[in-house]
């Protein structure tokens, strides 16, 4: 099982097509989550003031 995971990871590293898409797909939840946190924090500060 571990060897198949290592093989899959090495195949992903070897491929160069779609790397930008993969990075965007991995970064999008962080960006959306950060934006949501910023909106919630701004709303909380507005209500507390």
* Domain enclosing residue 19, as ranges: 2-48
What's the pLDDT at 28? 96
Give the C-alpha separation, 19 to 41, whole Å.
Answer: 33
Tokens 């491929």 locate to 15
Give the number of domains in the chain: 1
pTM above 0.75, yes or no: no
Q: Please tell me whether residue 1 adopts helix, strand or coil conformation.
A: coil
Tens-digit pLDDT profile for residues 1-49: 888 888 888 887 777 777 788 888 999 999 999 999 999 999 999 998 7
């Amino acid at each position: 099982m571990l060897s198949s995971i290592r093989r899959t990871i090495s195949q992903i590293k070897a491929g160069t097509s779609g790397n930008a898409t993969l990075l965007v797909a991995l970064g999008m939840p962080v960006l959306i989550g950060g934006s949501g946190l910023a909106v919630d924090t701004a709303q909380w500060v507005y209500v507390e003031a």
